[in-house]
C-alpha cells in the first residue's frame, strides 16, 4: 500500500517565508517607531522652543528651526549631516558669519564652523532655514 504525501520541502519553504516576512515586518516597525529618540527629542525642542544662545546675534537669543520642514525631515537631516543641538548652538555663538541675499530677495546669514559646515538663518525672524555639511554648494 502506498501513501501519498505532500512535499515536505514546499511546506517548509512556505513556513520559512512567512517567518521571514514576520521578522522583517517586526524589525521595520521597531525601526520606524524609535528613530534616534534623543536626537528626535532635541529636534522637536528646537522646532517648538528654539535653540538659545547667551549673547544675542542680531538681536536674537533664540533660534527656531523653520517650520517648512517636518520633524521627521529635520531629524533625518540632523542625523545624516552630523548635526545636533549643541553643534548648532556652538556655531551660532562662534561661527564665521556671511550675509547674503537669496534668489527671492531674502537677506539671510550663513554661519560656518571650522570644518566648513554651515547654517542658513534669517536674522530678522530668528529662524534656521538649513543645516548643511561642507559638501553642499551654495
Closest among 58, 49, 57, 60 to 85, alpha carbons compared: 49
pLDDT of residue 43: 94
pTM: 0.72
95 falls within a domain? yes
108 falls within a domain? yes
pLDDT of residue 86: 95
Residue 7 per-residue DSSP state: -
Kindly report, residue by residue over 24-76, the tens digit of the pLDDT: 777 666 655 454 588 999 999 999 999 999 999 889 999 999 999 999 999 99
6 falls within a domain? no
pLDDT of residue 126: 96
The answer to whether the beta carbons of residues 100 and 37 sit under 8 Å apart is no
Kindly report, residue by residue over 77-127, the tens digit of the pLDDT: 999 999 999 999 999 999 999 999 999 999 999 999 999 999 999 999 999
Domain count, the chain: 1
Q: What's the rounded Cα separation, in Å, for the pair 60 and 75?
A: 23
pLDDT of residue 137: 86
Query: What torsion, rounded to 10 degrees, do the Cα atoms 37, 131, 65, 68 define?
Result: -100
The answer to whether the beta carbons of residues 116 and 100 sit under 8 Å apart is no
90 falls within a domain? yes
40 falls within a domain? yes
57 falls within a domain? yes
Interaxial angle between packed helices 37-48 and 85-94, expressed in degrees from 0 to 180 and rounded to the nearest 10: 50
The answer to whether the beta carbons of residues 128 and 63 sit under 8 Å apart is yes
83 falls within a domain? yes
Amino acid at each position: 500500500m502506498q501513501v501519498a504525501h505532500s512535499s515536505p520541502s514546499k511546506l517548509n519553504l512556505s513556513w520559512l517565508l512567512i517567518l521571514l516576512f514576520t521578522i522583517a515586518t517586526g524589525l521595520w516597525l521597531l525601526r520606524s517607531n524609535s528613530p534616534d529618540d534623543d536626537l528626535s527629542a532635541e529636534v522637536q525642542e528646537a522646532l517648538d522652543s528654539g535653540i538659545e544662545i547667551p549673547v544675542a546675534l542680531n538681536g536674537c537669543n533664540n533660534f527656531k528651526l523653520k517650520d517648512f520642514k517636518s520633524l521627521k525631515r529635520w531629524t533625518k537631516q540632523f542625523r545624516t549631516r552630523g548635526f545636533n543641538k549643541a553643534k548648532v548652538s556652538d556655531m551660532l555663538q562662534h561661527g564665521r558669519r556671511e550675509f547674503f541675499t537669496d534668489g527671492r530677495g531674502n537677506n539671510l546669514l550663513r554661519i560656518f564652523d571650522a570644518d566648513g559646515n554651515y547654517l542658513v538663518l534669517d536674522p530678522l525672524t530668528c529662524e534656521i532655514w538649513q543645516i548643511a555639511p561642507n559638501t553642499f554648494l551654495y
